[in-house]
Amino acid sequence: MTARPTSPRVALTRLTLAMLLGSAAAVGAQESTDPIKLTLHDWTGQLITTELMGEVLKKAGYNIEYVQADYLAQFAGLETGDLHVAMEMWETTGREAMDASTATGKTEVFGPTGMKAKEEWWYPSYMKEKCPGLPNWEALKDPACAEAFSTAETAPKGRYLGGPVTWGGFDDERVEALDLPFEVIHAGTDAALFAELESAYQRQAPIMLWIYAPHWAPAKYEGEWVEFPEYSADCYNDPAAGLNPDLAYDCGKPFGDIWKVGWAGLKDKWPGAHKAITAFTIDNDEMGAMITEVDLNGKTVEAVVADWMGANEARWKGWIGQ
């Protein structure tokens, strides 16, 4: 009997099925279809970085879930595997928590993001004439300088506006260890922190606050970071190592990389995703531009990520091996 010829429709269906199977093979036949859970925090850049990584992984066929999590407390979930990927752990504020977690063997550092972190006490340039010893931190010990940065709620002490408490940073400890006549007030959110800067700058009002980079603020506003005694691990861990023999944190914050970190089981459960996350890299200028689009120009995180992916297709396809 002569074999019945395959119809074009059946041939097309088989071709489509083969393509789908090939796509699944690209992800890895042995990889789990469970959702990879990426943590979201409370600042714009981290939301962008996380969604960018998540959308790239979706292009590779992975199931992605975004989970709101506390910046430092998230390590409990990463260690158990209830959470899987944290795209930004800053050398400036998260190093201790990251090191303690990776020491358990239950979490892994997936390498640097390519961005360099700086966050420290910052003041607008118009305040320098009222405290001419700046940026040297010792100028802040002058009662007249402290009062120049005071508000009705803190006078005669200066007011330092810190980030949300969940960010860490040891600013309260720093004030005590260096005997600074300042009171630390924590902003409730990232948005509130920069809204207060915007308001103060427009009025040329006194303000000393936590500014970080990569971000649009250091580019938009003229000002300087306070120069504290140089950070060392001993300064944070050994009171005898710094200026104050009785208290730790008598130095500035560390500067350095922003790291990717996550559950150590990721590489076995989703090896292709592990490779892509490790390959991910972006620089301060790119991130600063995207944050500006969201915070100043009113775009959504989703739109900014989509624009970046459209302009960098060859790059992110290289991360997922396409």
3 state SS of 104: coil
Regarding whether 280 and 231 lie in a shared domain, the answer is no
pLDDT at 21 over 60: no
Regarding whether 233 and 123 lie in a shared domain, the answer is yes
Regarding whether 272 and 222 lie in a shared domain, the answer is no
Q: Establish if 251 belongs to a structural domain.
A: no
Regarding whether 49 and 87 lie in a shared domain, the answer is yes
Which H/E stretch holds residue 98? helix 91-102
CA dist 82 and 60 (Å) reads: 22
Contact at 8 Å (CB) between 222 and 124? Answer: yes
Can you give the pLDDT at residue 50? 98
- Averaged confidence pLDDT in the chain: 91
Structure tokens at 157: 């002490």
For residue range 279-304, list pLDDT tens digits in order: 999 999 999 999 999 999 999 999 99
> What is the CA angle 183-186-192, rounded to 5?
130
Regarding whether 69 and 167 lie in a shared domain, the answer is no
For residue range 26-63, list pLDDT tens digits in order: 444 469 999 999 999 989 999 999 999 999 999 999 99
Could you give the C-alpha distances from 22 to 16, 19, 140, 179, 300, in angstroms and in order? Answer: 10, 5, 64, 64, 34
Q: Establish if 41 belongs to a structural domain.
A: yes
Q: Establish if 47 belongs to a structural domain.
A: yes
For residue range 153-173, list pLDDT tens digits in order: 999 999 999 999 989 899 999
Regarding whether 125 and 78 lie in a shared domain, the answer is no
Q: Per-residue pLDDT averaged across 63-75, rounded? A: 96
CA dist 5 and 7 (Å) reads: 6
Could you give the C-alpha distances from 191 to 15, 111, 163, 197, 286, in angstroms and in order? Answer: 51, 28, 10, 10, 20
Regarding whether 99 and 128 lie in a shared domain, the answer is no
Could you give the C-alpha distances from 315 to 45, 151, 278, 318, in angstroms and in order? Answer: 20, 49, 14, 5
Cβ neighbour number for residue 228 with a 10 Å cutoff: 21
pLDDT at 12 over 80: no
Q: Establish if 15 belongs to a structural domain.
A: no
3 state SS of 202: helix
Regarding whether 271 and 218 lie in a shared domain, the answer is no
pLDDT at 250 over 60: yes
Can you give the pLDDT at residue 48? 97
Q: Establish if 175 belongs to a structural domain.
A: yes
pLDDT at 271 over 70: yes
Q: Establish if 307 belongs to a structural domain.
A: yes
Q: Is the peptide bond before 135 cis (omega within 30 degrees of 0)?
A: yes
* % pLDDT > 70, the chain: 91
Can you give the pLDDT at residue 177? 97
Can you give the pLDDT at residue 92? 86
Radius of gyration of the chain (CA): 24
Q: Which of 185, 209, 241 is the last residue of a domain?
A: 241
Question: CB under 8 Å to 266, separation ≥6 — which residues?
Answer: 36, 84, 85, 108, 273, 274, 277
Q: Establish if 25 belongs to a structural domain.
A: no
CA dist 199 and 34 (Å) reads: 46
Regarding whether 101 and 139 lie in a shared domain, the answer is no
The enclosing domain of 271 has a CATH number of 3.40.190.10
For residue range 173-222, list pLDDT tens digits in order: 999 999 999 999 999 999 999 999 999 999 999 999 999 999 999 989 99
pLDDT at 258 over 60: yes
Task: Specify the number of domains making up the chain.
Answer: 2
Tell me the pairing of strands 256-263 and 85-90: antiparallel
Can you give the pLDDT at residue 30? 64
Of 35, 34, 39, residue with least CA distance to 67:
39
> What is the CA angle 80-85-91, rounded to 5?
105
Q: Establish if 280 belongs to a structural domain.
A: yes
Q: Which of 193, 210, 241 is the last residue of a domain?
A: 241
Cβ neighbour number for residue 63 with a 10 Å cutoff: 13
What domain range is 266 assigned to? 32-115+256-319
pTM of the model: 0.78
Q: Which of 206, 241, 276 is the last residue of a domain?
A: 241
Regarding whether 203 and 146 lie in a shared domain, the answer is yes
Q: Per-residue pLDDT averaged across 4-10, rounded? A: 39
Specify the amino acid at residue 65. Answer: E
For residue range 101-138, list pLDDT tens digits in order: 999 999 999 999 999 999 999 999 999 999 999 999 99
The enclosing domain of 200 has a CATH number of 3.40.190.100
Regarding whether 47 and 196 lie in a shared domain, the answer is no
Regarding whether 138 and 69 lie in a shared domain, the answer is no
